[in-house]
Amino acid sequence: VLHTGRLMPLVGLGTWKAKPGDVERAVRAAIEAGYRHIDCAKCYDNEREVGAAIRGCLDAGVCAREDLFVTSKLWNTEKKYARDVRNALENTLRDLQLDYLDLYLIHWPVAFGRVVNCACHGNAGDGAICPFPKRADGGLKYDDARRRVPHAETWRALEACVDGGLATHIGVSNFNEAQLQALLDACTVRPAVNQIELHPYNASPALCAYCAEQGILLTSYCVLGHGSGAGVPLLESPVVAAIAERRGMTPAQVLIRFQTER
């Protein structure tokens, strides 16, 4: 339950790294199977396909728009001015073929420099902004004047998007306690969600407790693990395997249940 009283589905379908051609089929199959929360992001570079799947399901009467909970995220290159934030959200809505988002998140608490026509991403000459701009030495090119992102300024632009009916809830992703507190000290609309990496190897108890105290709902990504702890991927962990065998479940089911119980 979000702080507004709106229900958010407990389990959703993430679309990160979903390949072109696969993501539309996957999203449509998920909605037809009963999924009602779809998690997207501009930098996943597949929102048009996600939108085609959602539109197909809505047109076919599989579900109504109000039954879906659609999340997307503001990328690191779209924070320099308030107009960038609104433009980014409007572009996402266009690609998703929706009139509003249920949740719009600041993807990361950093800002990247804006590099146009970056050949390394295959978009040279088309006027596109490179999502992962690089310096001459190969490192990421941050917006030097905004490396310590003034989150309150970005947040005010998001609040204006709520006022304009483009999103019903706003939140953040990958924020720590200090970054959240600075935002809470300056906001009018409270962040509904903080989406972070959560699994047994990265349990983040202090951040979880802080968000609970502040009424900020935590959502998790990489629930099956990311990398390995002690050299053993979570899906191959003997502890997880033993629990799965005892419960008659798969390791993946154990890890998903672990996180939903939290």
Tokens 């996600």 locate to: 50
Q: Which of 47, 37, 51 is nearest to 6 (CA)?
A: 37
35, 44, 104, 221: which one is catalytic? Answer: 44
Q: What angle do CA 189, 260, 8 make, to 5 degrees?
A: 35
Tokens 């990421």 locate to: 140
Q: Which of 61, 48, 83, 160 is nearest to 72 (CA)?
A: 48
How far apart are alpha carbons 208 and 155 in whole angstroms? Answer: 22
Instruction: Return the DSSP state at 229.
Output: B
* Residue 169 is labelled as binding a ligand: no
How far apart are alpha carbons 43 and 91 in whole angstroms? Answer: 12
**Across-strand partners of 171?**
105
SS3 call for 159: helix
Burial of 233 (0-12, 13-18, 19+ CB in 10 A): middle
How far apart are alpha carbons 7 and 164 in whole angstroms? Answer: 22
- Catalytic, 35? Answer no
- Secondary structure string (H, E, C) spanning 17-55: CCCCCCHHHHHHHHHHHCCCEEECCHHHCCHHHHHHHHH
Pairing of strands 170-173, 13-14: unpaired
Q: Which residues are catalytic?
A: 44
Binding residues for substrate: 107
